Amino acid sequence: MFRSQLFTAILFIAVVVSLMIAPLASAQGLKLGYVKEERIQAEYKAWQRAQEEWNAESKAWEDEAMAKQQELQELQEEYEKQKLILSDEKKREREAMINAKTEALDAFTRQVFGPNGTAERKNQELLRPILENIQKAIEEIAIEGNYDLILTLQSVAWVKETHDITDEVLKRLEEME
C-alpha cells in the first residue's frame, strides 16, 4: 500500500505520453530524460526512512487487529464450550459480548484500513513530502539541463541509457536534505 495509486497513475500517463512523443522527439530534436523509480526508492534515504516508519506503523495496526481477533475467537470458543450449561440470560450476555467485540473489531478495521482511514492518511503523510521533493529535483534538473520531457520509468521495454538522469536526481535529493 505504500506505493500510492497516484504514483502508478502518473507513471502510466508518463509512459503513454512518452510512447506518443518518442517518434516526434527524434524528428524534432527534443531532449528526453528518464528516472528509475526503483532506484530512487532504494537509494533515497528519505524514502527508506518513510518505508521503515510505514512498516512499523503497519505492524502495530496489524498486531492490534490480530489481538482483537484472538480475543474474539477465544470468547466464541469459550461460549461454544459452555452454551449447553448456560442459562438463557447468561447466553444472551455472552452473545451480546461477542457481538460487541465483533463490532469493535469491524470498527477498528474500517477506521484503520478503510477508505480515508488511518493507514491511507499515514501513507499520504509520509509520501507527499517525498514525492514533492522528487518532483522539485526533477523540475530543477529539467530546467537546468534544458530537457523537453523527463519520464519516470518502471515497466518500459527499452530506453537508451544516455537519457537516464536518475543519478542527477538522487544527487539533487541529497543536496536538498
At 69, list the grid cell.
Answer: 481477533
Specify the pTM: 0.68
Query: Binning pLDDT at 50, 70 and 90, where does residue 117 land?
Result: very high
Domains and CATH numbers, the chain: 5-176 (3.30.910.20)
Q: At what angle do helices 45-82 and 118-144 cross, to 10 degrees?
A: 170
Contact 15, 155 (CB under 8 A): yes
Statement: residue 52 has pLDDT above 90: yes
DSSP 78-103: HHHHHTTTS-HHHHHHHHHHHHHHHH
Q: How far apart are CA 104 and CA 39, in angstroms?
A: 41
- pLDDT mean across residues, the chain: 84
| Per-residue model confidence (pLDDT) at position 11 | 47
